[in-house]
Amino acid sequence: MARVYLLYALCNILTIFITLKWLHERKRIVTKEIIRYRYRNQLLNQPFSGSDEELRLKFQLLINKSVDALDEELVELARQVIEPPSERRTKARTVPVTPQIKDVIEILGKKRHGFFVECGAYDGESASNTFYLEKRLGWSGLLIESDYLVYTKLRAISRHSYTINACLGPTTHPEMIEISSSAIGGGKLVYNGTYGEKDKRFGDRLGDMVPCFPLDTLLAAMDRRHVDYLSLDVEGYELDILRSISWDKFIIDVISVEYVMLKEGKKALKDYMETIGYVTFDDINYSDEDFESSIAVYQQYNEEEKFSGSSDISRSMSSA
Ligand SMILES: *[C@@H]1O[C@H](CO)[C@@H](O)[C@H](O)[C@H]1NC(C)=O
Ligand SMILES: *[C@@H]1O[C@H](CO)[C@@H](O)[C@H](O)[C@H]1NC(C)=O
Ligand SMILES: *[C@@H]1O[C@H](CO)[C@@H](O)[C@H](O)[C@H]1NC(C)=O
Three-state SS for 100-131 is HHHHHHHHHCCCCCCEEEEECCCCCCCCCCCH
Ligand 2 midpoint to CA 9 (Å):
62
Of 228, 226, 221, 217, the residue nearest 139 (C-alpha): 228
Name 52's Cβ contacts closer than 8 Å, sequence gap at least 6. Answer: none
**Tell me: the pLDDT tens digits for 199-248?**
555 455 556 778 899 999 999 999 999 999 999 988 778 899 999 999 99
CB 79 within 8 A of CB 264: no
Same domain, 10 and 132: no
* Average pLDDT of the residues in 29-54: 58
Ligand 1 centroid to Cα of residue 64, in Å, is 6
Specify the number of domains making up the chain. Answer: 2
Nearest protein CA to atom 2 of ligand 3, as residue: 285
Please name the residue whose Cα sits nearest to atom 4 of ligand 2: 196
Spatial separation of the C-alpha atoms in residues 251 and 265, rounded to whole Å? 24
The verdict on 152 and 268 lying in the same domain is yes
Average pLDDT over residues 105-119: 96
Judge if 146 and 125 occupy the same domain: yes
Local confidence band at 279 (pLDDT 50, 70, 90 cut-offs): very high
How far the first Cα of the chain sits from its last, in Å, is: 92
| Residues 96-114, mean pLDDT to the nearest whole number | 96
Ligand 2, atom 9, lies closest to the CA of: 240
Q: Share the mean pLDDT of the chain.
A: 82
Instruction: Give the pLDDT score at 53.
Output: 76
Ligand 2 contact, 240 CB (< 6 A): yes
- Residue-range definition of the domain harbouring residue 22: 1-43
- Average of pLDDT values for 294-310? 71
Q: Are residues 52 and 17 in the same domain?
A: no
Same domain membership, residue 106 and residue 1: no
Residue 182 pLDDT greater than 60, yes or no: no
Judged by phi (left if over 0) then psi (alpha if -120 to 50, else beta), residue 148 lies in alpha
Instruction: Verify whether ligand 3 is closer than 6 Å to residue 294 (CB atom).
Output: yes
Closest by alpha carbon to 183, among 211, 159, 209, 208?
208
Under the banding of pLDDT at 50, 70 and 90, the label for residue 313 is very low
Q: Are residues 36 and 78 in the same domain?
A: no
Q: State the pLDDT confidence band at 115, using cuts at 50, 70 and 90.
A: very high
Quick one: 14 and 51 in the same domain? no
Q: pLDDT band at 86, cuts 50/70/90?
A: very high
Same domain as 100, residue 31: no
pLDDT at 32: 63
| Same structural domain, 101 and 175 | yes
What sections of the chain are H helices per DSSP? Answer: 2-43, 53-64, 72-81, 99-108, 131-137, 148-156, 215-221, 238-244, 266-275, 303-306, 313-318
Label residue 264 by pLDDT band (50, 70, 90).
confident
Say what the pTM is.
0.77
Does residue 171 share a domain with residue 23? no
How many other C-beta atoms can be found within 10 angstroms of the C-beta atom of residue 257? 24
Task: Note the pLDDT of residue 187.
Answer: 47
Whether residue 124 contacts residue 143, with contact meaning beta carbons closer than 8 Å, is answered with yes
Residues 195, 258 within the same domain: yes
Provide the pLDDT for residue 31: 60
CATH of residue 259? 3.40.50.150
State the pLDDT at residue 180.
66
pLDDT tens digit sequence for 152-168: 889 999 999 999 989 89
Is it the case that residue 82 has pLDDT exceeding 80?
Answer: yes
In the structure, what pLDDT confidence band is assigned to residue 289 with cuts at 50, 70 and 90?
Answer: low
Q: What is the pLDDT of residue 210?
A: 82
Q: What proportions of the chain, in percent to the nearest 5, are helix, strand and coil?
A: 40, 20, 40
Tell whether 203 and 294 lie within a shared domain. Answer: yes
**Quick one: pLDDT at residue 181?**
60
Helix (H, G, I), strand (E, B) or coil at 48: coil
pLDDT score of 312: 41
* Chain centroid to CA 82: 14
Q: pLDDT class for 256, splitting at 50, 70, 90?
A: very high
